[in-house]
Chain A
Amino acid sequence: MPVSSSSSSQSQDLISKLTSTDPQLKLKALRAIKNQIIGNKTKKLSYINLGIVPPIVQILGSSSSDSSLIVNSAAAIGSFACGVDVGVKAVLDCGAYQYLIQTLSSEDEKIYDYNWARGSFIKLEILGFDYDMERGVVLVKLELGFDYNLVVDAGARALRMIFQSKFAPKYDFVNEKSINFLFSLLNNENENIAELGACIITHSCETSTEQKALCEAGVLQRLTTLLGGSLNQRDASLESLAVILKNNMDTVAKFVTVDSGKVLSAITELTKDRFPRTRLLACICLIGIGQISPCFMEDMRIKTKLVLILVELLEEPDRVGDETPFVLADLVTTKEDLQKIAFDSNALDKLCICLCKSPINPKRTEGILLALAELCSKLEICRSRFLSLQVLNMVTDALKHDLSEVRIAACICIRSVTRSVKSLSAGRFMNEMPVTTLVQLLHDSFITVQVAALGAISNIVVDFTTHKSIFIECGGVTQLVELSKSMDSTLRLNSVWALRNLMFLAGNNFKEGILEELTASTLASLICDPEPPIQEQALALLRNLVDGCGDSINHVFVEDGLVIGAVGRQVWSASESEVCVQGMFALANLAAGSEVHKEVVMHCLLPPQAGGCTQSVIIKFLQANDSRLRTASIWCVVNLSYRGCFDSYSRIERLRTAGIVSQIKTMVNDPCLDVKYRVRTALEQCMACDNST
């Protein structure tokens, strides 16, 4: 950030005051800074850039600072850290963390010693005497002229601000020392310190081992006690409980029995609290429990209640309104019944209204887009409603947002909406969607954005109309081909996936155009990619390429049969069923072609080098447990023995010699109807051929 000369002189002035030996000057400067930066992100960033943070941290750590200086420096540090990651980094880099931790134990004897050693006492008041007989000394109780309560509060508050950020230090709760430290906070009578303990759990608890360790140490009981404390303690407790319970069967099982289930009822009751944040946090806790223990969510009334509360909270300002869409998304994710309840509760309309409000902060935009994505992920009724609300343009604008998180959320939202085959069939997305914007995102500097854009593109290019050419015209194919050669396997997978969908029912010229860009050698490499999901998509791409009646099938045989060779190697060697299924369908499609094509497939399945000694791979597939693999394989046989072809008889004889006809005779009552009836077709063709000779 550029710094003007006036700012520079102002900063010099402030720094000289902060480093002055006069405590009053320091205090004045601290107060001035503190008042200026509260709620003012721009000012915070500006001061951080001017180098104001280090002298403030120095005051906090100085042995000569009195309580006013410590309180004000801690408050300023907390303010710099509040909601600004750069601020958190700045204060941590200057060593503020240790000084703040020391402020917490100011009432502790050690800190008395510490502060005594620092000579920070200003006033002493003798409160009484005691006599230690053994040591033969008189003990004096002193009231110190150092306002510890204010110091502790300021320190705890500042630390809470720091622990809101992902940059705050983590505690390892498997470590006994960390647990002891945590309990010293949670059990503290000072409510700010106890609240800080809960905040540290929320920030640090990440693994199931840590969740369990906290649970076993008795943290759940302590946190449930805090639920009865002040508003801040209650909220911090709810938030940390949600973290401990998240995706953990053991901790949830233990929690629901705490106090004979009364705590669970208490949290349910808190969903009606008059404070929006408390309602939201109570919902988060209950959702966490419901995701692990579905019986808790079986009651339709609870589901509906949670949805209704969240829908109402969408309109809240600030943090609650920002976080609510994420919670709603979490609640309905993968759950069709909850998506329907949310739809019936008008959630979709409300989210769209919120999206259209201006200005809207990026966090909220991201959350709304993700919630819309979840709502539209399964139900056509939601997609249809979304499209009718005319907010697609807003989502498209979000594709160009400065923040990568928002761009990703917009891509995910479009991916969900474009699952509508009805709209794809109408060519709606290729027409209305700024496909060009999505294609531009394929050049994004973040791989995560590129992958998200590929997800949306994969769906849009299924387009059943004649508009696929729009995608080529905006450079989409070129970029997909480029990404299919990426070193990143996720990019390779998703770009091949998009090419596969683009190839679906495409015209011959179009198919040839794609293959020309992709090249046969790249296709062969992708079929043999080290990653099985990429092999699967590449074979599915080939399957679509050779489907239909055009000449595109011939392009597979260029470069000495590089592609068909790759297919042959995969079907013989792949262990993943999905790869073999796509490989066999690709061969089945080829076998629906000319005599030459059928012979190539025969060569693939019954290679001469096997010398009749090795059992053909197709027999293994016909005996597979996976009915899709049996289906693909029997279609291959049907096409190889297809009636009316010049060389059918010869092929059937070779299939018979290889034991394939005998194998399919055992399958006339296959449990899969699809296989059963195609086995009959194949056998009829074989018999018809016998009869005709």
Chain B
Amino acid sequence: MVFLMQGPSTGNTLPPACTLLSVGQAFAGTQNVSSLQKDEAWRVNVRIQGCDLDHGYLCGTMEALNVPMADTPVVTFWEGEIVDTKNYTFFTGKWEATPDDDIRHWSKFPSFSALLSQVEVDGGKSLDLSNYPHIFMRWKEQYFVNVGVDCGLTIAGFYYVCFSFSDGSINGFYYDPNSSDESVLHRTCSPFQKLELKSTNEGRSGFSFSSYQLQ
């Protein structure tokens, strides 16, 4: 169910906090890289390192394993914009992404369909997502953590991401305007790149949660 805000917002319309998307949480899964030549699936681990819902900010690291041509796992640091309609809307407004690009990518998430018509009007500015069971984000890799920029990979694009409250899963689609196609961590030009992650309990018989508090 989607709610539209009636007039100016007076209450809290920010996405709710979710323990599975809090600092320290780990996700594991794959990144499917499909091209005309071949299909590849890289194992990917993600760790959330920072979360500031007031500013619609999330950040963490992404580790890609068995990346062809890379000797070691490649770790990047990414920063996320949470689509909360206060700090960020569904329209990216930068990174060379047009509203059409945005809608095309968001529409790949089934959970977005209920929002589509309003997003087409105003980018979702008037939507109240505070009780919506999915959190939409854009993740932009900022730098390589463990390899140099000359590693032959590019992080020029960004991910459209959707997190599900119900099972803690994360799905993402990569967009790279500089590529004739869209590429990921990003060895080749590939038409379709999908990130599929699941919240992981790292081998424990349940879920556990670390936390820190900055002063």
Contact = CB atoms under 8 A, between A and B. Distances in A.
A592 B49 contact: no
Contacts of A676: 165
A497 B206 contact: no
B18 interface: yes
A501 B79 CA distance: 21
Residue among B165, B206, B209 having the largest count of chain A Cβ atoms under 10 Å: B206
Given A635-B19, A674-B165, 15 more contacts: A421-B49, A497-B213, A497-B215, A501-B212, A501-B213, A504-B212, A544-B211, A547-B210, A592-B206, A592-B207, A593-B206, A631-B19, A642-B206, A674-B16, A674-B19
Given A426-B77, A458-B214, A589 B208 contact: yes
A280 interface: no
Given A464-B49, A631-B19, A674-B165, A594 B205 contact: yes
A141 interface: no
B17 to A, nearest CB: 6
B59 A422 contact: yes
Contacts of B19: 631, 635, 674, 678
A592 B24 contact: no
A628 B209 CA distance: 13
Secondary structure dominating the interface of B: loop
Contacts of A426: 77, 143, 145
A543 B205 contact: no
Contacts of B212: 462, 500-501, 504, 544
Given A635-B207, A644-B205, A458 B215 contact: yes
9 contacts: A458-B214, A464-B61, A500-B212, A504-B24, A543-B211, A593-B204, A639-B208, A642-B206, A677-B166
Residue among B24, B50, B202, B208 having the largest count of chain A Cβ atoms under 10 Å: B208
Nearest to A680: B166
B59 A421 contact: yes
Nearest to A502: B212
Contact of B165 (A425, A635, A673): A673
Given A422-B79, A425-B59, A677-B133, A540 B211 contact: yes
Residue among A421, A544, A593, A594 having the largest count of chain B Cβ atoms under 10 Å: A421
A131 to B, nearest CB: 80
B92 interface: no
Contact of B18 (A415, A500, A640, A674): A674
Contacts of A674: 16-19, 165
A546 B213 contact: no
Interface in B130-162: 131, 133, 142-143, 145
A108 to B, nearest CB: 57
B16 A546 contact: no
Given A422-B79, A425-B49, A592 B205 contact: yes
Nearest to B18: A674
Interface of A: 415, 418-419, 421-422, 424-426, 455-456, 458-459, 462, 464, 494, 497, 500-501, 504-505, 540, 543-544, 546-549, 585, 588-589, 591-594, 598, 628, 631, 635, 638-640, 642, 644-645, 672-674, 676-678, 680
B203 interface: yes
A504 B50 CA distance: 12
A673 B20 CA distance: 12
Contacts of B98: none
A328 B212 CA distance: 30
B211 A425 contact: no
Contacts of B211: 504, 540, 543-544, 585
B205 A593 contact: yes
B213 A500 contact: yes
Nearest to B59: A421
B205 A642 contact: yes
Residue among A425, A459, A638, A674 having the largest count of chain B Cβ atoms under 10 Å: A425
B210 A544 contact: yes
B201 interface: yes
A544 to B, nearest CB: 5
Contacts of A645: 205
A107 B189 CA distance: 94
B205 A639 contact: yes
Contact of B16 (A591, A594, A672, A678): A672
B117 to A, nearest CB: 23
A382 to B, nearest CB: 13
B93 to A, nearest CB: 17
B131 A673 contact: yes
Residue among A419, A547, A593 having the largest count of chain B Cβ atoms under 10 Å: A547
A335 to B, nearest CB: 14
Given A421-B50, A464-B61, A543 B166 contact: no
A501 B208 CA distance: 16
B143 A639 contact: no
Contacts of A494: 215
Nearest to A636: B206
Contacts of A594: 205
B210 A504 contact: yes
A631 B207 CA distance: 13
Given A464-B49, A673-B133, A589 B165 contact: no
Sorted nearest first, the 8 A-B pairs with minimum C-beta distance are A639-B206, A592-B206, A421-B50, A589-B208, A504-B212, A592-B208, A547-B210, A592-B204
Nearest to A641: B206
A462 B214 contact: yes
Contact of A455 (B204, B205, B215): B215
A540 B202 CA distance: 20
A56 to B, nearest CB: 50
Residue among A591, A594, A644, A677 having the largest count of chain B Cβ atoms under 10 Å: A677
A415 B215 CA distance: 7
A644 B204 CA distance: 11
Contacts of A549: 202-204
Contacts of B59: 421-422, 425
Nearest to A590: B208
Contacts of B206: 588, 591-593, 638-640, 642
Nearest to A642: B206
A588 B208 contact: yes
A458 B215 CA distance: 7
A464 B77 CA distance: 11
Contacts of B133: 673, 677
Contact of B77 (A419, A422, A639, A680): A422
A547 B47 CA distance: 14
A546 B208 contact: yes
B215 to A, nearest CB: 5
B107 to A, nearest CB: 23
Nearest to A594: B205
Contacts of B18: 673-674
Nearest to A380: B57
A266 to B, nearest CB: 36
Contacts of B79: 422
Contacts of B210: 504-505, 543-544, 547-548
Interface in B83-104: none
A516 B8 CA distance: 55
Given A547-B24, A549-B203, A459 B215 contact: yes
Contact of B208 (A459, A500, A548): A548
